[in-house]
Amino acid sequence: MNAHDSEKVVGTLLARGYREVPTPEEADLVLYNTCSIRDKAEQKVFTRLQNFKREAGKGKVFAVLGCVAQQEGERIFERAPHVSLVAGSASYTRLPEMLVQLEEGNRRVTGLSLDTDETFDTPFTRRDNPHRAYITIIEGCDKSCAYCVVPFTRGPERSRTGESVLAEARRLAESGYTEIQLLGQNVNSYRDPSPAAWDFATLLARTAEVPGIRRVRYTTSHPRDFIKAIVDAMDSNPVLCNHVHLPVQSGSNRVLGAMQRLYTREQYLERIAWIKNARRKMALTTDIIVGFPGETEADFEETLTLLDEVQYDSLFSFKYSPRPNTAALAMEDKIPDAEKARRLMVLNEKQRAIQIRRNAEFIGSLEEVLVEGHNPATGQWIGRTSQNRTLNFTHPPNGGASLVGRYLNVRVTRSGPNSLAGESAANVM
Ligand code: 5AD
Ligand code: SF4
């Protein structure tokens, strides 16, 4: 989501006559788009601001955008006095007018209001990837998970109209994009604000029908709002990729309760069963936090048994990081960092073994990939399957033409913990 916010900000700047330069050293205006989901990300911003200022900051205008901007607000001016603009993502609709103030030489411009009821929709988005395009369908979050800073930094939920999402998808298809990724903190609570009042499953189905679009992905889901109709929609149109990212955070009901996740392990597993019973084979991935306050060894064991039960294809794991303005900040029974690190290692070792097994099951199969790049060091092309697996492959010499952006069938011959390898069946489509 942050990467896509950057694309929209760059597009807005370009539309106002700004020009992108190859390095920050050459820029007159330097914008930092920031993340505050965990403390480490937040600290990085301040280190970079300091270092860059010292080396090359003379005469430049600095802006801090994104979640750290929203969270720290005007305190950023104190910590980094050379910054002139501080704006959170909920204020980006006002970005053009904030730029005017900057251009007029204003030294302290802020956009920190959270009460916008609009999404940051811009026709000028400058996209980084020529084949896959992100489309924001809902911004903000109305949940209140005890560890999470997002409802505070990104504000309340606002959905875009279904028609504007489809119009953007059609425009993208016309300009050559074949893959679309629908974005939101919680896409499952999408609700079309127009009278059509589409829910997320309907929006997914409609997006998949846009001519020229061959793949549609979405992220991220909240298990509580993940309804069976989503699996049914995926089952009825193969354009909807075979992958569900369903963050569980913990396998222990006690911890899930303390996290205010609004579902139990059993309810989560019920959703997993819908996905596993789909007609197509879906990949499953998740997010897990270890060391949430009060997480006992027994609680952690339950997360490990959940991994055994679900057999995820991949997971993102994090040590709990205390965040400002969150309910968990005041909770007792903090887990020491060394213990969090140990749990993270145990979790990742278990998952690695699962991935080695799961990836090996693909050897011999034929997979369609979208080619994303080429690795000159290995001579392999880099492809991605509908299940979102990386599949590196060799291809017969074709006169040096790039395969990037093409869809190819690849025979899987080898597997590792994080990727597959194979040989293209050479029938370029
Ligand atoms: N500490 C650690 N991980 C966190 N996440 C969100 N907030 C925190 C936090 N305070 C993780 C969750 C979420 C993912 C995007 O980041 O697992 O799903
Ligand atoms: Fe954060 Fe929970 Fe909202 Fe996800 S659903 S953004 S974890 S508060």
Report the separation in Å between the CA atom of 38 and the middle of ligand 2, taken as the mean of its atom positions.
Answer: 13
d(CA 318, CA 292): 10
Lining ligand 2 with CB less than 6 A are: 141, 143, 145, 148, 150-151, 185-186, 222
Residue nearest to atom 13 of ligand 1 (CA): 287
Nearest to 121 by CA among 165, 68, 66: 165
Ligand 2 atom closest to 185 (CA) = 6
Q: Is the CB of 321 under 6 A from ligand 1?
A: yes
Residue-wise pLDDT for 27-42, tens only, equals 999 999 999 999 988 8
Global confidence as pTM: 0.95
**Counting ligands in written order, which one lies closest to the CA of residue 323?**
1
Q: Is the CB of 323 under 6 A from ligand 1?
A: yes
Give residues with Cβ within 8 angstroms of 251, minimum separation 6: 265, 299, 302, 303, 304, 305, 306, 307
Report the separation in Å between the CA atom of 38 and the middle of ligand 1, taken as the mean of its atom positions.
Answer: 7
> What angle in degrees, to the nearest 10, is found between the helix axes of 297-310 and 265-276?
10
Residue-wise pLDDT for 81-111, tens only, equals 999 999 999 899 899 999 999 999 999 999 9
Q: Higher confidence at residue 129 or residue 272? A: 272
Question: In this structure, is the dihedral angle defined by the CA atoms of residues 59, 60, 61 and 66, taken in order, positive or negative?
Answer: negative
Peptide bond into 220 cis (omega under 30): yes
Residue nearest to atom 1 of ligand 2 (CA): 148
Nearest to 35 by CA among 25, 27, 24, 46: 46
Q: Three-state SS for 98?
A: helix
**Counting ligands in written order, which one lies closest to the CA of residue 36?**
1
Q: Is the CB of 335 under 6 A from ligand 1?
A: no
Residue nearest to atom 7 of ligand 1 (CA): 148
- Taking 50 as the threshold, does the pLDDT of residue 429 lie above it? no
User: Any idea what DSSP says for residue 327?
Assistant: G
Residue 248 — pLDDT band, cuts 50, 70, 90? Answer: very high
